[in-house]
């Protein structure tokens, strides 16, 4: 989606999904979610998430592998920021951005034994020579390099996964009015799309791990300042919603009190829009 959704792939602060999507689907009501499965307890205590969640974070010290069940290439510390893709077979491909020197940038290589740095703080160590896939700069002017590897899916903090956090948030907040949703919107830095009026949408985007010009990931859909639906590129369990298949592999979750004509109106508008962009 190069017209509207281009995000520079080096920046980890991209919104963090599955790029292998089904082709166009007919809109089809599937099921009503009556309950939400509670995530399995995490064995070790998770560090607190920051006020703003821009991507997934590690839960504990993790060894990054060069491929699934492959060789170790880096040791990563707890809570560092990742550019994480979709879990497949229990594994996630993740991008790691670290500060680099001019020599590392010239060689496009991070050598074994060198420390990984974020904002001047050591966040890990290279366990092998690691080719850099891309380089860039932070807003402060520091050089950065990006490389990829694989980690077990269970090593991601549940609270940093927007779909999990949204389901839990809605269980804890009875009102779906915009003012009460603002704290969630701000924490996950969702932005208004400016499309599909009279509906008001707040969205983030897929990870650049899966697509260098990512599309929507999670879209909160409001009508007259009330949350009526969630459109998402991944499956979500939201209490009291019915799922509708949308085009290009998206899923629509409409709350039971949303008017059926309003639902169909939004489905049509969303599909028209998502099919109109590259």
Over residues 204-229, the pLDDT tens digits come to 987 654 455 668 989 999 999 999 99
Give pTM, 2 decimals: 0.59
Query: Do 103 and 239 share a structural domain?
Result: no
Given 155, 176, 209, the domain boundary residue is: 155
Mean pLDDT of 5-15: 37
Q: Report the pLDDT value the prediction gives residue 6, as an integer from 0 to 100.
A: 37
Asked if residue 251 and residue 218 are part of one domain, the reply reads yes
* 170 and 33 co-located in one domain: yes
209 and 113 in a single domain? The answer is no
Residue after which a domain boundary falls, among 155, 173, 198: 155
Residue with tokens 């963090």: 16
Q: What distance in Å separates the CA atoms of residue 103 and residue 136, rounded to the nearest whole number?
A: 14
Q: Based on the fold, state whether residues 169 and 204 are members of the same structural domain.
A: yes
Task: Check residue 53 and give its pLDDT.
Answer: 52
pLDDT of residue 28 exceeding 80, the answer is: no
Residues 182 and 140 in one domain: no
Residues 6+ apart with CB under 8 A from 262: 223, 228
Q: Is residue 194 part of a domain?
A: yes
Helix axes 162-172, 178-187, angle to 10 degrees: 150
Which whole-number Å values give the CA distances from 16 to 59, 66, 231, 270, in the listed order? 17, 21, 15, 21
Compute the mean pLDDT over every residue in the chain, rounded to the nearest whole number.
Answer: 81
Which pLDDT belongs to residue 16?
35
For residue 165, pLDDT over 90 is answered with no
Q: Are residues 166 and 34 in the same domain?
A: yes
pLDDT tops 50 at residue 63: yes
The per-residue pLDDT for 230 is 98
Assess if residue 119 is contained within a domain. Answer: yes
Q: Which of 155, 173, 193 is the last residue of a domain?
A: 155
Q: Is there a single domain that holds both residue 267 and residue 238?
A: yes
d(CA 122, CA 168): 32
Query: Residues 165, 270: one domain?
Result: yes
pLDDT of residue 70 exceeding 50, the answer is: yes
| Number of domains the chain is built from | 2
Q: What local confidence, expressed as pLDDT, does residue 29 receive? A: 37
Question: Over the stretch 103-161, which tens digit does the pLDDT of each residue have?
Answer: 999 999 999 999 999 888 999 999 999 999 989 888 788 899 999 999 998 898 866 78
Is residue 151 assigned to a domain?
yes
Percent above pLDDT 70 for the chain: 76
Is residue 22 in a domain? Answer: no
Residues 137 and 239 placed together within one structural domain of the fold: no
Domain that holds residue 249: 29-38+158-276
């Amino acid at each position: 989606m190069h017209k509207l959704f281009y995000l520079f792939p080096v920046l980890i602060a991209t919104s963090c999904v599955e790029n292998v999507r089904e082709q166009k689907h007919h809109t089809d009501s599937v099921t009503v979610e009556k309950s939400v499965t509670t995530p399995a307890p995490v064995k070790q205590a998770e560090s607190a998430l920051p006020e703003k969640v821009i991507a997934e974070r590690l839960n504990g010290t993790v060894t990054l592998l060069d491929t699934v069940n492959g060789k170790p290439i880096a040791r990563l510390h707890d809570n560092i920021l990742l550019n994480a893709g979709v879990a497949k077979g229990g594994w996630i491909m993740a991008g790691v951005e670290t500060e680099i020197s001019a020599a590392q940038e010239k060689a496009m290589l991070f050598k074994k034994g060198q420390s990984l740095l974020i904002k001047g703080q050591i966040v890990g160590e290279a366990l092998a020579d690691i080719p850099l896939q891309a380089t860039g700069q932070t807003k402060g002017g520091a050089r950065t390099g990006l490389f990829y590897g694989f980690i077990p899916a269970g090593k991601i903090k549940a609270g940093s996964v927007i779909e999990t956090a949204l389901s839990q948030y809605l269980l804890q907040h009875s009102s779906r009015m915009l003012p009460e949703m603002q704290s969630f919107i701000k924490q996950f830095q969702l932005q208004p799309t400016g499309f599909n009026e009279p509906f008001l949408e707040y969205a983030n985007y897929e990870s650049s791990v899966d697509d260098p010009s990512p599309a929507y990931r999670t879209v909160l859909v409001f009508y007259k300042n009330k949350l009526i639906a969630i459109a998402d590129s991944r499956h979500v369990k939201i209490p009291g919603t019915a799922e509708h298949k949308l085009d290009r592999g998206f899923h629509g979750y409409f709350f039971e009190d949303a008017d059926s004509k309003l639902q169909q109106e939004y489905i049509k508008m969303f599909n028209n829009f998502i099919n109109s962009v590259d």
